[in-house]
């Protein structure tokens, strides 16, 4: 078990009334750090610059509350002509539903993968057991539905479509840490795993807290709107939860290399690995251990590498092979027993949460590819888009 780190002397613990909010999910660093100046910004509805989501230029990120009335709603029932009630075997038959549309300029679209994901979600109730799986190619869609119903992410699903192909991932966002709900101890684990020098931790944590809290009171190592960092850049602290993980780039101290990864600042230091890959703004803060990566599991206080090994092995099921029908823990109690964890950890984890699903769909024809990634909010039969982004790429 990793020891709990002692606080740096002089760091004031956050008052109880200023705990992290329970909301959703320019230049850089300190005033003389040019690194933060590399982050692209626009203007957001909150009055501060809106960071372009992701690292690639030309992306089109949208939150549901930015889309306009009705623009974020997608009903599963109208995803296909049959109202989404035909068998999953029909979905794998290579029909026109999943062709990659060709734009006049020869472009491609990855939106067919989102439709396929919605179709799979419409049939989660049809595959609650391991029985009666077909042996044909369509069986991978049924297995995908079974896994998602258990809170297990699906990665690498492929379909050949005419001259192109479609590649699809469907992964619960609960496999990441909700950045708006992190404790200081959580932050320390994440920054440590990201190879961020320990002397930066206090400033980063306090500056994050000052960005999201509802007042203008400075924390010991923090920065509110009157700080030269924000005054020089012409925007104020948000005083509210982050809408996207990329918004970290607006906060004093959070350089692109800290957020996305990059070379170390010193010759003898390890490179920054980037913390964004482990974070989300969706979910209730509990981590879905059936789909979380090894790195995310290691950011949970009180879970050490031996426990992580036990979790990863245990979630493979009795056959010890990932990607099969018996995958996944069925209860938190099963996780606690398998990994030898304390009951305190039970409040931090879950095995089946999948209210928010990250869908990454790549449509490719020849050297052209379009990547669509979105977050779907799933409640019963209702599926709603809460985030959408598209990027085009050419194979080098």
Domain membership of residue 3 (yes or no) is no
pLDDT at 130: 53
pLDDT at 82: 35
Domain membership of residue 14 (yes or no) is no
pLDDT at 64: 39
pLDDT at 3: 40
pLDDT category, 217, cuts 50, 70, 90? very high
Domain membership of residue 24 (yes or no) is no
In whole angstroms, what is the distance from residue 123 CA to residue 97 CA? 16
Q: Around 334, how many Cα atoms within 13 Å sit in the side-chain half-sphere?
A: 15
Interval 308-326 mean pLDDT? 95
253 and 205 in one domain? yes
The residues, ordered by sequence, that sit 6+ positions from 260 with a Cβ below 8 Å of its Cβ are: 55, 274, 276
192 backbone dihedrals φ, ψ, rounded to 5°: -65, -45
Domain membership of residue 182 (yes or no) is no
Give the C-alpha distances (Å, rounded to integers) separating 70 from 83, 117, 383, 384.
20, 20, 13, 10
* 159: pLDDT strictly greater than 70: yes
228 and 141 in one domain? no
In whole angstroms, what is the distance from residue 156 CA to residue 141 CA? 12
pLDDT category, 392, cuts 50, 70, 90? confident
334 and 258 in one domain? no
257 and 310 in one domain? no
Interval 261-278 mean pLDDT? 93
Residue where one domain finishes, among candidates 248, 274, 300: 274
In whole angstroms, what is the distance from residue 210 CA to residue 235 CA? 14
81 and 164 in one domain? yes
* 124: pLDDT strictly greater than 50: yes
* 54: pLDDT strictly greater than 80: no
Residue where one domain finishes, among candidates 274, 307, 340: 274
Q: Which residue has the higher pLDDT, 213 or 126?
A: 213
74 and 168 in one domain? yes
* 66: pLDDT strictly greater than 50: no
The residues, ordered by sequence, that sit 6+ positions from 78 with a Cβ below 8 Å of its Cβ are: 84
pLDDT at 23: 33
Residue where one domain finishes, among candidates 251, 274, 297: 274
CB-count burial class (<10 Å; 0-12, 13-18, 19+) for 66:
middle
362 and 334 in one domain? no
pLDDT category, 380, cuts 50, 70, 90? confident
Tokens of 257: 């290399």
Domains: count for the chain = 3
pLDDT category, 73, cuts 50, 70, 90? very low
Output the DSSP codes for 148-170: HHTT--EEEEEEEETTEEEEEEE
Handedness of CA 117, 123, 125, 126 (dihedral sign): negative
14-32 tens-digit pLDDT? 333 333 333 333 333 333 4
pLDDT at 396: 55
Percent pLDDT > 70 in the chain is 68
Highest mean pLDDT among 100-104, 115-119, 142-146, 191-195: 191-195
pLDDT at 13: 35
168 and 213 in one domain? no
pLDDT category, 111, cuts 50, 70, 90? confident
* 10: pLDDT strictly greater than 50: no
Interval 333-349 mean pLDDT? 95
Q: Which domain holds residue 133?
A: 70-174+357-394
377 and 297 in one domain? no
* 62: pLDDT strictly greater than 50: no
248 and 335 in one domain? no
The CATH number of the domain where 211 resides is what? 1.10.40
| Residue environment code for 344-356, b if the CB has 16+ CB neighbours within 10 A, otherwise e | ebeebbbbbbbeb
Interval 4-13 mean pLDDT? 36
pLDDT at 129: 55
Q: Which of 284, 283, 275 is nearest to 251 (CA)?
A: 275
85 and 52 in one domain? no
Domain membership of residue 190 (yes or no) is no
Q: What is the pTM of this model?
A: 0.76
pLDDT at 349: 97
Percent pLDDT > 90 in the chain is 54
Domain membership of residue 1 (yes or no) is no
169 and 99 in one domain? yes
Domain membership of residue 20 (yes or no) is no
Interval 314-342 mean pLDDT? 95
Mean pLDDT of the chain: 76
Instruction: Tell me 135's DSSP state.
Output: S
Domain membership of residue 4 (yes or no) is no
Residue in the structure block whose two tokens are 């009795």? 318
* Secondary structure of 246-276 in HEC code, one letter for each residue: HHHHHCCCCCHHHHHCECCCCCCCCCECCCH
Give the C-alpha distances (Å, rounded to integers) separating 349 from 16, 174, 291, 342, 344.
23, 9, 11, 12, 10
Interval 329-339 mean pLDDT? 97
* 290: pLDDT strictly greater than 80: yes
In whole angstroms, what is the distance from residue 258 CA to residue 269 CA? 14
pLDDT category, 122, cuts 50, 70, 90? confident
pLDDT at 368: 87
pLDDT at 59: 40
């Amino acid at each position: 078990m990793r020891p709990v780190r002692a606080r740096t002397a002089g760091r004031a613990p956050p008052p109880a009334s200023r705990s992290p909010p329970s909301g959703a999910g320019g230049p850089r660093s300190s005033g003389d750090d040019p690194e933060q100046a590399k982050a692209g910004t626009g203007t957001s509805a909150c009055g501060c610059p809106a960071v372009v989501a992701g690292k690639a230029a030309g992306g089109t990120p949208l939150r549901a509350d930015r889309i306009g009335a009705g623009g974020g709603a997608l009903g599963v029932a109208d995803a296909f002509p049959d109202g989404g009630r035909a068998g999953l075997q029909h979905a794998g038959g290579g029909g026109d539903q999943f062709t990659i549309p060709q734009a006049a300029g020869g472009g491609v679209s990855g939106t067919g993968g989102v439709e396929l994901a919605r179709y799979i979600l419409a049939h989660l109730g049809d595959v609650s057991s391991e029985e009666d799986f077909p042996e044909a190619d369509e069986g991978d869609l049924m297995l995908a539905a079974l896994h998602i119903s258990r809170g297990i992410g699906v990665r690498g699903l492929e379909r050949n479509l005419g001259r192109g192909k479609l590649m699809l991932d469907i992964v619960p966002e609960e496999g990441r840490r909700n950045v708006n709900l992190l404790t200081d101890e959580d932050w320390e684990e994440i920054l440590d795993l990201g190879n961020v020098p320990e002397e930066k931790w206090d400033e980063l944590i306090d500056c994050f807290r000052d960005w999201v809290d509802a007042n203008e009171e400075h924390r010991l190592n923090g920065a509110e709107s009157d700080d030269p960092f924000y005054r020089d850049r012409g925007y104020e602290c948000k005083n509210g939860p982050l809408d996207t993980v990329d918004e970290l780039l607006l906060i004093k101290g959070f350089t692109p290399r800290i957020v996305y990864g990059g070379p170390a600042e010193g010759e003898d230091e390890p490179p920054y690995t980037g913390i964004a890959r482990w974070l989300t703004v969706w979910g209730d803060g509990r981590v879905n251990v059936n789909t979380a990566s090894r790195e995310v599991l290691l950011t949970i206080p009180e879970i050490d590498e031996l426990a992580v090994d036990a979790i990863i092995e245990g979630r493979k099921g009795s056959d010890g092979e990932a990607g099969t029908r018996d995958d996944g823990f069925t209860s938190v109690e099963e996780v606690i027993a398998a990994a030898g964890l304390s009951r305190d950890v039970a409040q931090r984890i879950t095995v089946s949460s999948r209210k928010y699903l990250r869908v990454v769909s790549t449509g490719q024809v020849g050297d052209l590819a379009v990547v669509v990634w979105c977050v779907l909010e799933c409640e019963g039969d209702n599926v709603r888009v809460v985030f959408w982004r598209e990027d085009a790429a050419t194979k080098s």
